[in-house]
């Protein structure tokens, strides 16, 4: 999604939040404070591209573990087979670098999804 589409989606979600009852809104904002992620934190973690820390931050544990393991394999190969180690590490950078440049959009999409889920949750809990 483009940044504009994400903003439009967020505005539609905010409208749904305003339409909640006061009790539902209170519960929504309590939950939102626990689940919404900061784009700047994601970007900082993404600077450690090869470690995959940004995947853990958004709860994508499986991809984070894979990224971390591949990085460790690359580091293990580095002293013994430098070419293989460098190829592995460069491969990780090539795969992960686009996420650094799209970090704002990635977190915005994640947060919109969290908002959508929380709206559904507070509506169904109070139904």
Cβ-contact 120, 31 below 8 angstroms:
no
Largest CA-CA distance found in the chain, in angstroms, rounded? 63
Looking at the chain, the whole-number percentage of residues with pLDDT higher than 90 is: 81
Looking at the chain, the whole-number percentage of residues with pLDDT higher than 70 is: 98
- Nearest residue to 104 via CA among 26, 64, 44: 44
Read off the pTM: 0.88
User: Which pLDDT value is given to residue 49?
Assistant: 67
Residue 24 has pLDDT above 90, yes or no: yes
User: Which pLDDT value is given to residue 113?
Assistant: 97
Phi (first) and psi of residue 98, to 5 degrees: -60, -30
- Mean confidence (pLDDT) of the chain: 93
Q: Domain residue spans in the chain?
A: 3-125
Q: For 58-114, how does the pLDDT look when each residue is reduced to its tens digit (9 = 90+)?
A: 999 999 999 999 999 999 999 999 999 999 999 998 988 888 889 999 999 999 999
Rounded Cα gap, residues 62 and 59, in angstroms: 9
Residue 17 has pLDDT above 90, yes or no: yes
Mapped onto helix, strand or coil, the DSSP state of residue 1 is coil
């Amino acid at each position: 999604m483009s940044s504009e589409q994400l903003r439009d989606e967020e505005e539609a979600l905010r409208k749904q939040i305003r339409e909640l009852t006061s009790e539902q809104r209170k519960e929504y904002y309590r939950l939102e404070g626990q689940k919404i992620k900061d784009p700047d934190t994601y970007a900082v973690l993404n600077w450690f591209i090869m470690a995959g820390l940004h995947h853990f931050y958004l709860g994508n544990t499986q991809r984070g573990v894979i990224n971390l393991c591949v990085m460790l394999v690359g580091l293990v190969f580095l002293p013994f087979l430098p070419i293989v180690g460098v190829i592995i590490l460069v491969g990780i950078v090539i795969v992960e670098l686009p996420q650094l440049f799209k970090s704002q959009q990635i977190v915005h999409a994640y947060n919109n999804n969290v908002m959508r889920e929380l709206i559904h949750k507070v509506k169904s809990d109070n139904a």
